[in-house]
Structure 1
Amino acid sequence: MRDQPKILDCENEPLANSGLIQPGGALLFMEKGSRQFRYVSANAESLLGEPAADLLGQDGDDWLAGVLPDMGALPTAAGQRLQLTAGVDLGAGDLDVLITTTGSGWLLELEPSVPADQAQQPPSLAAITDTMTTEQLHHVQQQLVDAIRRVIGFERVMLYRFHPDWTGEVIAESAAATAKTYLGLRFPASDIPAIARALYAQTPYRHVPDTRATPIPILSRSGEATALDLTWSDLRSVSPVHVQYLENMGVMSSFSVSIMVDGRLWGLVACHHPSAKTIPLARRDDCRALVSAYVDHFKVYQRSVQQEIHQDLTQSLDRLQAALDAGAPIATAFADQFAPLAQRFSASGAALWVDRDLTLLGDPADPEALSALHDWCLREQSDAIAAFDQLPEALLSQLADQQRGFSGFLSIGMRALRHGNALLQLYLLRPEEVSEIAWAGDPEKPLAATPDGLRLSPRDSFDKWVEVRRGFSKPWSDTDRFAAEQLRERLMQLL
């Protein structure tokens, strides 16, 4: 595939080990063992009044005593943060200080404080979060992006939701009247590659005040190339590929807040501005608090949906249990309860295998195609639950000339311990659903010719680009997967 080398090119960027920071602040790293400053950014003198070379090797505890009277407050867990935003004076003006624990020490990041008479006063966070009470989730999502835009004053704020294939979609947007809209548009997974998503999952936010700013090197005592891990650094430098990507969008300043749900990166609040703009540390933390409030509301919504699923499945499976208790074969009991299951999963049909016996339910599908599907899953698929909105490539080539009757499937596998330990495999089937996906530009990133050969070149157009997608079913959602887990758990109790 043409995409493969491009994605690998992105994945090979040393994002967390660049040895550089953005110039909006200075960085020091205190090693846990020696308690000395092992790394210092070259611009430290501008904020501390002391040359970086002189700071290297100094006792960090002595320095911290002037910043943190209670050393017991020093964070200990990796990624844990302590913010001091009251204006710490270390000799060259008031500073905001962020202390973050890493595996081997503490990152100390210093930024000039914004004077109280110049600081933008944010709206009351309590007043904002108190309005997030509607049961309509999309209203809460709009409230979130509106609130964050009020806090930071950016031109555009978007709620960016990841799909299971890591493509992203803008599902809510707050923007100036003159700004280009991306609402409803999709972005390819390669726009935010896995290495970048991993960083988002470990950090609360990412701020780029000025894409045109020259990065600052981090110095080490030995003078050798640094290997300092900047995963948790607010000041971490920006990938040149990402800088070009933002500039191609007409963006000079960006801010992204990670949205974590149940330990997984659910999405981002992505903020863009056409000119350089620094968000003070306290305002960045306000945005983090707003996202946390949104996640709380999302979880309440999620629980209500899950409770509804549980109730629906309980009714169907109680009837299935009654049929089994009355002596009905497994296939017969399933056939009688297929209609409510089909409605819950938006399935047109199903195939039930009990050992090698096949029962077809709902709309007809080709038995030969189902046999090929079943054999492939037994051979290649080890997960108890798996969902595909397009048949795997091996099956597509094998069944190319057949009228299958389905384009997507969700499989649920288990052993029926009370029925001779029979292997039970249920396939819920969905037909092809020809759809249009509106992308923010052609999702294919071009490869540019350079003296070193073909290299990744970020997309330079984000105009709406519509793809007509064939051969896919309606995608299986997180809600579908939850329902499948609930169904399997109850079936294991019954069978």
Structure 2
Amino acid sequence: MSYQVDLTNCDREPIHIPGKIQSHGFLIAVNSKTYNISYVSENVDAFTGFTAINLLGKNITEFEQLLKISGDVASLQQLLNLAKATKTSDTINPLTIDVKGLGYNLIISHSLNDLVLEFESAESDLGYDIQKTIGRSVSEILSGKNLDTLLQNAALEIKKIINYDRVMIYKFNDDGHGEVIAEVKNDHLEPFLGLHYPASDIPKQARELYKINLTRIIADVNSESSAVVTFEEDAAPLDLTHSCLRAVSPIHIQYLKNMGVESSFSISLIAHGELWGLVACHNYSPRFIDYKARDASKLIGQILSSALEYRQDEEDNTKLLELTEAADTISGYLKKDPDFTYALIGNNVTLKDVTTATGVALIYNGEIDVVGQTPTKEQIAEIAEWLKTNMTDTVYSTHRFPTIFTAAQQYSDVAGGILACWLSKELGEMIIWFKPEQVTSIKWAGNPEKPVEETKDGLLQLSPRKSFESWTQIVKFTSEKWKNDEITAVLKVREDIIYAINRKANEIRILNERLQLAYDELDTFSYTISHDLRTPLSSIKNYSELLLSSNNSLDEPAKKMLDRIIKGTDKMHMLIKEILHYSRVGRADLEMSPINMGLLLREIKREVLSALKPGNIEFTIGETPSIIGDSVMITQVFTNLINNAVKYSSKSIPQKVAVHGEMQNNEVIYSVSDNGVGIDINYYNRVFELFKRMDNAMEFEGSGVGLAIVKRIVEKHNARIWFESKLGIGTVFYISFKTS
């Protein structure tokens, strides 16, 4: 036989319609239109001498006469008229009356189509008027300077007022489970302070009723409840939501018995409209305090609720102010600093300070920058990939990250919780804040997993714990929770960052428009150089050559002068050609493809050697791994470097030039070396500048443009170029190409 465990039977128990009341008072309900008695508790006989059956159907006036109700109040009918006119009867409750000579508190409440009248003894075992002590007690409670002191004072003063054996302040956590955060008790009792109680101990519907009924007394767990009867067999049970005498769930009664508690009293603590916690009072013998004492306790609870709401808001506002100030400071940095990344993480106040995180990672523009305690950049990249799939909203947060992303269990000491926000989902740009794991020992009041018992119909359901011996649970892979204030601050700083990104994007757009205009002007200038300058230069050269060849009467100085003119024009032609080439490299589109470097280098070697006079040159080509690039531009790079190597080593004996490539990690690195004149260390920072030539290179032909073109092409390929050189020994140029 298979069983289904019913873990929600407590949550589904209809505790607002138990069909019974506690036995320390009696109840009647009258139809709100006719005022005829529609429901009555069976124990009415013990208090009045009239059976429930004899009272059902009678009018309230007749009931009043039968019970000889008297007191300094209006008639019951008049009181019911007053109650009907209001949504709540708090303003008239309780009404002190005599029933057959005995003092009772009459409490009137609403129940769907009926008005409920509950009769409780006006006597209390406190022996004094609690309302007279409230002023002093409230003053003592509010003297606490912080929230913890406030709550401890409240527990102490409430114990003085109602004299229960144990008074606890019980706070609900986000997941519904509760914790005792303040306690005052009789000396012989074991402490409950710091113990946690599972959410199932106070089920959901009970918590909802605590928001409606701000006090709740269970006078004696061992007394038998009294049924509420009606003359209609198929009538719905009387709704006792607002009842003071409403019977207690059998599950809860057994729960209290298992704890050894014989009487309990609770006061609801409400903050921002939600049940924040309870003042839970236990007595280890039966106790009854009258309605006036409970009402005075409710007032203390309301004052305490307002105070803790104010104190909590005060503490939250202080923290929010700190976070907001950090966000405002970063916003100021973004407006002043053109370096976006530095503005966010390079100053005294950084993105980390926008939350209470211990570390933050900025993933922007293809880079990962971190501040504080964070996972490694490789681990952050893995987290970012996970977030790309799992982060559907602008902001994502969890205080249990390693239980969701199991790889994070390896570094939970820095990433027990994360808070992330998108900057650009399309580009995978985001910010991630980290909080460390806080391994916590939670002391439960007994094992929080209630024993499972089988019912008569074969269904397994939860039953009250029998043991409340402290049971410790170690909670791992969790961090301090992210507060709403932190998320608010993150959203603010994100808005400022997005604005700064958009502002920078607009600036780039304007710069691009200006750059396009400059390109257009450069094209015009290039045309002017190529057309308007080349034509007169060609004329000068042609006329000079004509004079030199046709006029035999020229003396030697004149011939030398014409020869210099011809060489000068050739040099100007070459410079114009190189300048045009340099200006067009930056704008040319790359046609990327695999390049057979062995074939390319052998072709360059053949062309270079064919232009030289036969001589003693050692030109070696080593390993030639393939690269990805624009074949035309890469040919220009190696042609230029090899020509330079051959040219500047031409006076060396023997002359040596070598080209070699090798794979290193994710790069292919090529070297072009020679044993030539070398480069003076004073010129190292000028090697790749336009028109810069070394002093020891002046005797070699050149324009000073070639290496500038090489550097521009290399950078366009997202590659790197550098060199090593010594005067009189030679030079080695290195180029590193990424493989992916």
Give 2:438's match in structure 1, choosing from 430, 433, 438.
Answer: 433
Query: 3-state SS of the aligned residue for 1:81?
Result: coil
- Give the 3 Å change call, closer, same or farther, for CA 44–113 of structure 1 in structure 2: same
Change (3 A) 1:325 1:176: same
Q: Deviations over 1:115-169 (max 9, x none)?
A: 7x97334361001111222312222212211121122221101000111111211
Question: Which deviates the most, 257-266 or 305-314?
Answer: 305-314
Counterpart of 1:481 in structure 2 is 484
Alpha-carbon distance in 1 for matches of 2:295, 2:395: 39
Q: 1:214-253, aligned counterparts within 5 Å?
A: 214-224=224-234, 226-253=236-263
Given the alignment, which residue of 103, 117, 124 partners 1:108?
117
Partner of 1:446: 451
Match of 1:470 among 459, 472, 476: 476
Counterpart residue identity of residue 130, structure 1: S
Q: How does 1:158-169 map to 2 (within 5 A)?
A: 158-169=168-179
1:131-142 correspondence runs (5 A):
131=140, 132-142=142-152
Q: How many angstroms apart in 1 are the aligned matches of 2:365 and 2:62?
A: 71
Q: Assess if the C-alpha contact under 8 Å between 2:402 and 2:477 holds in 1.
A: no
Q: Aligned partners of 1:44 and 1:355: how far apart in 2?
A: 80
Residue by residue, what CA displacement relative to the aligned partner does 1:400-445 show, whole Å, maximum 9, x if unpaired? 776466544354658x7xx999998654321222221122222221
Partner letter of residue 370 of structure 1? I
Q: Does 1:455 align with 2:468?
A: no
Question: Could you say which structure has the higher helix fraction?
Answer: 2
Q: Deviations over 1:359-393 (max 9, x none)?
A: 654333222442255245434xx6x7664321385
Distance 2:367 2:115 in 1: 62
Larger Rg: 2
- Cα contact 1:82–1:100 (8 A) shared by 2: no
**How far off is 1:283 after superposition?**
0.9
For residues 186-201 of structure 1, what are the structure 2 equivalents within 5 Å?
186-201=196-211
Relative to the length of structure 1, the TM-score reads 0.85
Are positions 1:206 and 2:216 aligned together? yes
RMSD over aligned Cα, in angstroms?
Answer: 3.5
* Equivalent residue number for residue 300 of structure 1: 310
Identity, % of aligned positions: 28
Shift of the alpha carbon at 1:277?
0.9
Q: Could you tell me how far apart the structure 2 residues matched to 1:238 and 1:424 are?
A: 56
Aligned to 1:84, the other structure's residue is in SS state coil
In structure 1, the partner of 2:537 is none
Return the letter of the residue paired with 1:120: Y
After superposition, where does 1:17-416 map in structure 2 within 5 Å? Answer: 17-48=17-48, 50-60=50-60, 66-67=75-76, 69=78, 73-74=82-83, 81-82=90-91, 84-85=93-94, 87-91=96-100, 93-114=102-123, 119-122=127-130, 124-131=133-140, 132-224=142-234, 226-326=236-336, 328=338, 332-336=342-346, 342=352, 345-351=355-361, 360-365=370-375, 366-375=379-388, 377-379=390-392, 387-391=397-401, 395-396=404-405, 399=407, 403=411, 406-409=414-417, 411=419, 413=421
Change (3 A) 1:387 1:214: farther
User: Matches of 1:58 and 1:373 in 2, distance apart?
Assistant: 71
Change (3 A) 1:451 1:73: closer
Q: Which of 234-243 and 53-62 deviates more? A: 53-62
Change (3 A) 1:266 1:401: closer
User: How far apart, in 2, do the equivalents of 1:310 and 1:388 lie?
Assistant: 19
User: Aligned partners of 2:457, 2:283: CA distance in 1, in Å?
Assistant: 33
Letter in 2 for 1:128: S
Q: Distance in 2 between matches of 1:151 and 1:164?
A: 31
Return 5+ residue gaps in structure 1 as ranges. none
Aligned letter for 2:477? G
Instruction: Name the CA distance, whole Å, in 2 between partners of 1:421 and 1:238.
Output: 57
CA offset at residue 55 of structure 1?
A: 3.5
The structure whose RCO (Cα within 8 Å, separation 6+) is larger is 1
Once the two structures are overlaid, the 10-residue window that deviates more, 190-199 or 79-88, is 79-88
